[in-house]
Structure 1
Amino acid sequence: MKIARTLIATVSATLLATSAMAMTQAEHKAAKDSISAEYKASKDKCNALQGNAKDICVKEAKGKEDVARAELEAQYKPSAKADYKVRMARADADYAVAKEKCDDLNGNAKDVCVKDAKAAHVAAKENAKVAEAQAKPAGTAAEKGAAVSEARKDAAAEKNEANYKAAKERCDTLQGDVKSKCVDDAKRMYGQH
């Protein structure tokens, strides 16, 4: 009898959890409206700021909206593709904010900042692609392993190239042999030929 009650309680909890995860069209619309309202309120708060601080604030508000919308869609219609879109929205939002923050700098420091932001963006996007490959169903375990391996290989190459560009940008403040050695070291570190 006690086992039966436990089983009934477990099944009921599972059904409640499952129904709680499902989202109706009305709930979806309400959530979209809420995201829009929050974005508008966040953007309005930015009006109190000036210059690049205001620009950063606007990028942060827009990024939060984009991520929230992607997360909502992933919740409304769960899929590997929706999860990928969430990761990409986060990557794009982080990049937009990081790049905007670079506007507070000048010269080579700004160039390095932009390259670092780009390298982080490339890394996040490539990680999203690898996660998508891992989530995709494949015919056999070997086929899936090959697809994931290829995605990782491509991701590593893209990340190394972006990191090399950032490292090379740091070398631009140097001159002569020191600069040449710096560039050569960056090439070796990131596998660029």
Structure 2
Amino acid sequence: MKKLTINTLALAFTLAFSAGAMAEGMSKTEYKAGKSKIFADFKTARASCDSLSGNASDICAAEAKGNEKVALAELQARYKPSEKAHYEARLAKADAVYDVAKEKCDDQAGNGKDVCLKEAKAAETAAKADAKAQMKTAEANATAGEKTAEARSDASKKGVAARQDATADKTDAQYAVAKEKCDTYAGAAKDSCLAKAKLNFNK
């Protein structure tokens, strides 16, 4: 894997599905047909991995499985739309991207691989934290939608708290990446690196 960064992975997470697709509904017949197509696509994709070898085959298999998992979650969210279903679809995307990223990290060795894995985990943590914050904010807003101004103010506070929790989770994950990068040093240089990481992330 050439270069795995938190930003590029985080961007991948945002491409899970459009808001328009999430809002759609579908019949049971359409849902069943959708599932059949997803399973067929998975078999085709998985079969194509057989021509590969080594880690390339593992990456291919992870991508095929991840695409199937995401497609099924998104299908469910369209069939029975709800904040929870949309949340589950976002989690599926986070898990899928993380699983592929982990396999790609196997192309590296030593500290480079360790950093790669930490960055992949940080991106997954960020995506899941954002998904949770979005769900909590949406639920709070929906609950307060037809209530008093006081209730709407409380919902706003809950949304802010959810976003703050997400930020804290992402900061912890990024700090873990920074610490892992310090392992390339030794002695005073490593101590300095760790001290800088602590300062940057207020630890």
Match of 1:161 in 2: 172
Q: 1:40-68 CA deviation, whole Å, 9 max, x = no partner?
A: 10000001100100000011011111111
Match of 2:191 in 1: 180
Question: Are 1:138 and 2:143 counterparts?
Answer: yes
Using a 3 Å threshold, how does the CA distance of structure 1 residues 22 and 129 change in structure 2: closer, same or farther? closer
The 8 Å contact of residues 160 and 191 in structure 1, kept in 2 or not, is answered as no
Which amino acid in the other structure matches residue 138 of structure 1? T
The 8 Å contact of residues 25 and 81 in structure 2, kept in 1 or not, is answered as no
Measure how far apart 1:98 and its partner are. 0.5
Match of 1:71 in 2: 74
What secondary structure sits across from 1:191 in the alignment? coil
Q: Distance in 2 between matches of 1:146 and 1:30?
A: 42
User: What's the TM-score, normalizing by structure 2?
Assistant: 0.82
Question: Are 1:36 and 2:47 counterparts?
Answer: no
Q: Distance in 2 between matches of 1:22 and 1:43?
A: 29
The CA RMSD measured in Å over matched residues stands at 1.0
Q: For structure 1, which runs of at least 5 residues remain unmatched after alignment?
A: 1-20
Q: RCO higher in 1 or 2 (8 Å CA, sep ≥ 6)?
A: 2
Q: For structure 2, which runs of at least 5 residues remain unmatched after alignment?
A: 1-23, 145-150
Measure how far apart 1:157 and its partner are. 1.2
Q: 1:7-43 CA deviation, whole Å, 9 max, x = no partner?
A: xxxxxxxxxxxxxx44221111111010000001000
Q: 1:114-165 CA deviation, whole Å, 9 max, x = no partner?
A: 0000000000000101111121123321221121111111111111111111
Which amino acid in the other structure matches residue 155 of structure 1? A
Match of 2:51 in 1: 48
| Identical-residue share of aligned pairs (%) | 49
Which amino acid in the other structure matches residue 96 of structure 2? A
Match of 1:118 in 2: 121
- Runs of 4+ residues over 4 Å off in structure 1: none
User: What's the TM-score, normalizing by structure 1?
Assistant: 0.86
Between stretches 147-156 and 48-57, larger displacement belongs to: 147-156
Between stretches 132-141 and 39-48, larger displacement belongs to: 132-141
